[in-house]
Structure 1
Amino acid sequence: MTQEVLRTLEEQLRPAHTALVVVDMQNDFCAEGGYLQRTRAASSENPIRVDENERIAERIGRLAAEARRAGATVVWLRSVYDFKHLAPAHIAKREGEGCCMEGSWGADWFRIEPAEGDIVVTKHTFSGFHETDLHERLQARGIRTLVMTGVATNVCVDSTLRHGFFLGYNIVVAEDCVGSGNQAGHEGTLATVRVNFGSVVDSQRLLTLLA
């Protein structure tokens, strides 16, 4: 049976069919001393800054609490990048093993973490849907809209939202709840979402719409 087309944000963000997706809020991506900050801090062309990540985490935390209160689903995506899990092409793009290693501090949550009843999915590449059971778990809950948060905007957030769009989900990006060390990439993803994939909305408006 063909589903109703949800054209407005009010329709798309009904809590019963909305999932807040938190992407890769982990120490190696977000923390001072994490893998990205350690390995790229000295880069003159593309240094990684992590100072905004604490504020992003705070805003995601507030959004997650409101989503739960409203009856929406909260999903946490977690990367584990031990080389044994990665395809050769992915390994070829790494400077060396050490990012989000299974059981390490770097793979632990940064500032915020799942609550009871949330969905947690471990992934081994940029998309949260690739070779995981995320789609099946969302379908079992009747989810039709994904509210995207986390890092990095232009890598794992982008890959997951595109994959989700191709699977038929409405896409909403929480503009002040995503971040990247690559500002041009961050802005490029937001611009592309606005034109091609969905909506870009700040967290304050999302809090109002979910409520």
Structure 2
Amino acid sequence: MAVGEKIPNYITLGNLFSGTVAAIFAVEGDFKTAGIFVLVGIIFDFFDGFVARLLNVSGELGKQLDSLADMVTSGVVPGIIMFKLIQNNLIADNLFEEKTAQILDVQLIGLILTLAACYRLARFNLDTRQTESFIGLPTPAMCLFVVSLPLIQMETDIEFVKDLISNNYFLIALTWFLSFLMNVEMHLFSLKFKDYSFKNNYVKYAFLLASVLLMFTLNFLAVPLIIILYIILSVVKKRFL
């Protein structure tokens, strides 16, 4: 294998390294640092494919490495963060010792995200329909949604939003819903560009512009709203455009 063919794989390993470090900080409850490393990992995840297309190299090894790295960064880390969020709520409500005495601790439900992400990634590797679009919510999108929750909880002044994230019934329902979205037969557009013409990419450009505006105005709260907007635009595009 030529050196040029290895470069995308090295970038993919950067994703894996970032995800592993993020997992360590997530276990320790340092959600901000975990979020930074998740973001770095997702950037690596984007650029490994970009560089592979730029160098016109591809292969089965790169495909498998990509999914294995995503499994850590966008599968294990959000599962740990949801686990910690549910656990923290139990501690805050003085229910932690009571719940941990049960055979199945309720915070383990958060790890369903990890299982669902693994199942989605395995299906993605075998599904030839997902070369230009996605079927089901991509794992990085799910990951960003979950990683943003503790950051929103720390930063926002909106009590309703804080109360939602502090409610384990909401977090458990969200865990199941995101797990469902990752594996449902729902077509979502990809942000890969074949060309940069407005005519062929106006939905993508509209989404990117709206995302930037939301990030500048709402900070971390923008992240779940951007994911929701992505889903809505994808459904509208598929049905009407």
* TM-score category, normalised to shorter length: under 0.3
- Greater strand fraction, Structure 1 or Structure 2: 1
Q: Which has the higher contact order (CA 8 A, sep 6+)?
A: 1
After TM superposition, the score normalised by the length of structure 1 is 0.24
Larger radius of gyration: 2
After TM superposition, the score normalised by the length of structure 2 is 0.22
- Greater helix fraction, Structure 1 or Structure 2: 2
